[in-house]
A and B are shown apart, each in its own frame.
Chain A
Amino acid sequence: MARTRRPVVAGWFTDDTVPEGEFRLLGTRCSACASVFFPRADDGCRNPLCPGGGELAEVPLSPRGRVWSFTDGRYRPPAPYVSDPDAPWEPYTLVAVELAAEAMVVLGQAAPGVTTADLAVGTEVEVVPGVLNEDDEHIWTTWNWRPVPTGTGRGRPAGGPTVRKEPS
């Protein structure tokens, strides 16, 4: 039986009709105040200072950003995370990425094979399509972060933590 590719959450990223190189996370932007939201806000702008009267339209997020922080999951997470309880647990890497234009941090799993040793705070990464899990009917698709493979980008701390520090 042919399995269908299906996004783990509808509307959060571009679908398979878009070439892989143009894969993007999808947020929404308020036409009144230009605030961007991810995960997408569709019911109303959440900026309390927004003058109001605007509409929320879908907008692709920047495809590249820099690592804000990272970790891994050495133990199997509980449901609703899907994993084969009979297979040995394979740790995966989790990355928080700061997008400069949006001035926001977005979490995601790293692409398969990327370990914490490949990352540093400040490493440049890009969003790529990924597969979260497969079952009898579906291939559940998601987004992954992957170090930018060209030039000196890979695994390089890019001059250290150049990202803006959060206020404290």
Chain B
Amino acid sequence: MNDIAVLGAGMHPWGKWGRSFISYGTAAARAALADAGVEWTDVGSVVGADTMRCGYPGYVAGATFAQALGWQGARVTSVYAACASGAQAIGTARAQILAGLADVVLVVGADSTPKGFFAPAGGERPDDPDWLRFRVLGATNPAYFALYARRRMALYGDTPEDFARVKVKNAAAGALNPLARYRSPVTAEQVAASAVVADPLRLLDICATSDGGAALVLSSMEFARRHGRPDPVRIRAVSTVSPTYPRAVLDLPDIATDSAAVVAPGTHSFRASIARAAYEEAGIGPEDLSLAEVYDLSTALELEWYEDIGLCAAGEGAKLLRDGATALGGRLPVNTSGGLASFGEAVPAQAIAQVCELTWQLRGTAGDRQVPGARVGVTANQGLFGHGSAVVAVR
């Protein structure tokens, strides 16, 4: 078994604080170290998830956080995989621990976001697909979310009311989470009254962009035992898969899919393959789950994830939601943290924050949003440019 231990989890509350991402990441790191009972000077490696919009320091996130905490000579790594950066950081830390290169690894991601739509880096860069989709089509992230939502309505009969129900569910959970940016319950009427951003999605269907930071202290199981933590939350699988050709589902930032005329697409879409790889590595299936944290960039996308992580068959996501299965108190609560609907996106921190929530749930310390007897959790997320991200944690 290739388990590693989660010794500590820490976050800086999500919001729009107007400070540097370094301060959020450093605060999260200190919280995770305190939670782990580990001194910063005992950390052998720092893995940072890169913050791409904030200039030079963000591109070398590992070193930036190591410097902010006080240089102590640790091995440093910085990774970038868009929204999946946090999972790659965890994956990198795990590889170092399992290879015996480090006993204790600090993983940090943090962001400070601009107001409004995410935009590509400046300049005239026609060789960058992310630049091209804005220049040629004006296709923002919500435009892609809306294409998926409309497609679900046509294929499966999902309705805007179904989408609103996701927001109502996640806002109810977020209201119980002191780390969430939005902590007020939301009604379906409020969603329906919010402005249309990209038909059929409204403002309250789409996640905000936020400031925030998240960190984990990870170690070998042997170190955890020596450290007096014989039964820690364990990370049992980390999936960082990429798509297989031909990629037949349109994905941002692409202007077209691959052609499936010559090579037939695989049995599973890219999104479905992300969790499957994690399940396979962990030797579990969706039937073993106590809870899941998925990337609800939009309300409609959360329903897509239910299907892609195997909670139900294709097209049955809205029914699962309507039945209450995925709400707190339901059979399989999804986004007990409140999800992106309550946090907003802080890209490099988000996949790490998902694992923080699993950690607290599996320890039984999630307070009012605790899933009783939680034993197994999965996170799922997808980053631009073909980055998969899923983590299985167990207790």
Contacts and interface: CB of A to CB of B under 8 A. Distances in A.
A116 B258 CA distance: 25
A4 interface: no
Nearest to B126: A9
B195 A74 contact: yes
A103 B261 contact: yes
Nearest to A72: B199
Contacts of B256: 38-39, 104-107
Contacts of A101: 261
Interface centre among A34, A74, A80 (most CB of B within 10 A): A80
Nearest to A83: B138
Contacts of A121: 150-151, 154-155
A24 B151 CA distance: 26
A49 interface: yes
A78 interface: yes
A122 B153 CA distance: 13
A99 to B, nearest CB: 9
B148 interface: yes
A48 B314 CA distance: 28
B77 interface: no
Interface in B269-305: 269, 272
Contact of A68 (B131, B138, B151, B196): B151
B268 interface: yes
Interface string A105-130: 11111000000100011100000000
A104 B135 contact: no
Interface residues of B, number: 56
B108 to A, nearest CB: 28
A68 B155 contact: no
Contact of B117 (A68, A78, A94, A120): A78
Interface string B105-122: 000000000001101101
B263 interface: yes
B259 A104 contact: yes
Interface stretch (B7-15, B55-63, B245-253): B245-253
B1 interface: no
B147 interface: yes
Contact of A33 (B132, B143, B150, B262): B262
A28 to B, nearest CB: 11
Contacts of B116: 78
Contact of B255 (A48, A74, A106): A106
A9 B124 CA distance: 12
Contacts of B195: 74
Contact of A73 (B119, B143, B155, B245): B143
A9 B137 CA distance: 12
A74 B150 contact: no
A63 interface: no
B68 interface: no
13 contacts: A9-B132, A34-B261, A35-B263, A39-B129, A47-B245, A69-B147, A69-B150, A77-B117, A80-B131, A103-B248, A103-B259, A107-B133, A167-B269
Given A71-B147, A77-B138, 20 more contacts: A9-B132, A36-B262, A47-B246, A71-B150, A74-B196, A74-B199, A75-B197, A78-B140, A80-B120, A81-B137, A104-B257, A104-B258, A106-B255, A106-B256, A107-B133, A107-B256, A132-B136, A161-B154, A165-B155, A166-B265
